[in-house]
Structure 1
Amino acid sequence: PFVHEKVRAALSERLSASGNASGFLAGGVQFCAMVPLRSLPFSVVCLLGLDHDALPRRAQPEEFDPFASTRRPGDRNAREDDAYLFLEAIISARRVLYLSYNGRDPQDYSERPPSVLLEQFVDTVTAGYYREAPGDWRERAVLVHPLQAFSRRQFEPDSPCFSYRRDLAEALAGASMPHPVIERMADLSDAFDGVIDFAELLHFWRHPVRYLLRQRLDIDLGLAQDVLADQEPFEPDGLERWQIRTQILAWLRQGMPPRAVLAHLQAADRISAGPWGTLIADQHRDEVLAIHQRFEACGGAQPPRSMSIDLPLGDMRLVGQLNDLTPDGLLRIESGPWKPRHTVEAWLSHLVLNLVAPEGVQRRTIGLGQGSELDCLPISDAAEALQPWLAHYRMGLTQAPLPLLPERLLAAKSSDPFEKRLQTRQKAFRECVVPPPQTGRPPDGYLAWLYGEAQPIDRYWCTEAEVLVAPIPQVRKVPT
């Protein structure tokens, strides 16, 4: 019979006996630093923490050490010693060789490279034994552990990583219930009448998730509340810079002389007083003036006009107004950098322009921004290219949230393999939820609230994204 007291006594005896052992190679499981193994056979060898900055070690000589700057042949080299210890550990393993490193940053989840020794080991094994299918071997040999103990991967039936935490499993079971947004969208399926306002279409594609929550479900997370700064700013922040540059561009398009911009900014109290405010104003004026001169060279000197649109497109109708029309085409100008959302808005406007084909207006769209230029030539199948944008608009309002933001749509290069394009878009989505610290951007609260740690960009959404952006021309870089 199984007696609990006897088992406990036996374990206590064994554990107390093993505590008396000391020294290296004393039997059982050994925990030690990187020490010479002398090629002795071990059933299992585990090397932990093979990070890029941990191995090989970087020697830090003392400042007062005169021998550090006058090395001679035969002097010890920590990097070479670590490489030799690494080879000894590999040779000593007989049944299992376990190598691990921290592949993700715990703060922003960005990728971290392994030790150069580990990279060389993997490349050597791949080139010597798995040359025909290196990707298959890497997929089998490299096991990626979740960063957090409560990751859903820890509790999936076929996952190689598993956990026995009952409390975390119960929490995940509750989290797998349908999101309240999904449940509420069932009531919106009959609310779409097929009429799409063009301005609302552009607004939707700036941020489909935010548009759905705010405009359709009346869910405002209150993320735009102003917070009093602890210190008085010495220069405008991102929003203030955009407002200043937009105002300068509006004045220039109205015919204001560039030399009068500074006085108007000071009169409007848009810049700080003194030489520092003057320096900032002059910098913004010169940069915006360069963009405006390019804009006038493309035909922007003529006053733009607008026209009403009413286009039947299958079971939907697109109504509204098309702006920024000139005889040379549709011209869009941004006072700052040209961003992916500007590309999407310009492309949708270009498709509508080619459908209505107004008399006296070329079917061409030009977008100008700081250091960038987009040139869309006439397109014959504009209705076919516009249809998926409208279909996804309807899907994002009545069926399911749409995780296709402009930054994710245009993140991947068409020349890359599909798997790399998928990884690029997944990384771009994750960086919106958890931006890298060096960018200084705040996290996207709407994406974080809706998706949490989930990764919605899968193969399906990656394919749908490519259907949308495939006809869009590349944005060219131009000298500033």
Structure 2
Amino acid sequence: MGYAMSSEYSFDLADESIAPYEQIEGLQADLAGKLAHFVETLIEYRATLGNARSASEWQLQLNKMLGAFFELDVDNELAIKTIRDALSRLVEQTSEAGFEQAIDLRVVSDYLQNKLDSTRISQRFLAGQVNFCTLMPMRSIPFKVVCLLGMNDGAYPRNVAKEGFDLINVKSRHGDRSRRDDDRYLFLEAMLSAQSKLYISYVGQSILDNTPRLPSIVVTELLEYCAQNYCLEGDEALSVDDSGANLVKAITYKHSMTPFSPSAFKQQGSFASEWADVANMLVSPKHEASESILTEVPAEIDLEEFIRFWALPVKFFFNRQLDIYFEGQRESIEDNEPFALSGLDAYVFKDQLLQAQLEKGDQGVEQLAQWLRVSGQLPLGHFGDAELHEVKTISKEIANEVAFLTGSKQQDVEVSLPIALSSGETRQLVGWLKQRYASGGVYYRAGSVRSQDILSAGFVIWWQASVVLRAPLMLSALIRKTACSTTTLNLWIQRVRRAYLMS
């Protein structure tokens, strides 16, 4: 319904209310329709599968469900056939035993789980030009190229946990089987299977702090053996250590951390065609930029733009000079149902409730709270009620403090101040001073006061008190979420004023 109507309206269902989701538009309607059909089908089968039935009826119902959710193709043909064979076997066993009573869903689920766990579904070996498999004995078939992936320290040879009841592991003897020795033998078989090239990869640096990480012990032993028994052409006169170090360096390749790194295109080519443009740019002649990214300072500078620059200079540069905005990037939707509000969600809700309290009072807060419930933005049940009560309490405390300081609103004042540039030219700072009250300038937010908030408020309060109104600095407030005393914050603004030569 959100495709056709606004989310301001809600529908009263049997046990709850729900609001339309209006973020669906254009080509997304087809995707939303498919999702709605999938959810409706799940709900339908959930209600149907709750009833006990005979084995033959379960077979018909579950086969129908497989056809509804899965399209039979080459990739899943074997898996679907395995499930259907298990259902047929269930019907045969109950028929042979003369059991015709109704079976509960949990019994059928446990039966299928046990059957499918004991049945291995895997692809055929040597099914194509490229084959993926685990290292297994008696499979040393020659290949032109053999690639061993994930040969990290601790991952291979594989560590097998010892069972407490296995008495062989208490005191091993000669001739007992060793899993680690088996893996060493499999590694040797894989090496002998490579006819032209042997490719071994491992994670050489930590993903957390970039510290070096060692390869598997069998890879280390292979490198040491090559270094002690072979050398590069032309290194015959060098010592064993020097020639071995050169050999290991020559056969070891360290990949760059990013696919667009210049080092990724220096020695070897790449099969990733999407980075071909980057490679061409690296070898193309360098040209100076046709124009500077720094634009001419306009004759009139907007006051809000000037404040926005001082609050977050880097963000202002990206937005105004490079035309890059990070706010529009969509956040991924969580897979798990939340039982508590995140910090960002709590701030957004507190800010919305604060504005509703100041503009419409308690009635506006209740209307907004009801919309948050029916739109699905709050956790379900009592978890959502508890979170909503907490943010409503905090927002009302801030609203009471704001209402006390904003009892008598003053008219907005137009700003027009000359600014002298280093080049000797003059620009005009224009704008309007707002949020002026009898008690001074009041600036509030639903979260904690940040440094840019204090800096921005300090600029505006200074212009208001010292320049525009030609009056001394009055008591001004920055109200944070705890609605604490604002005297210290006012002193903070005075220090900002002196630091930036505003006095």
With the shorter chain as reference, the TM-score category is 0.3 to 0.5
Q: TM-score, normalised by structure 1?
A: 0.39
Q: TM-score, normalised by structure 2?
A: 0.37
Rg comparison, structure with higher value: 2
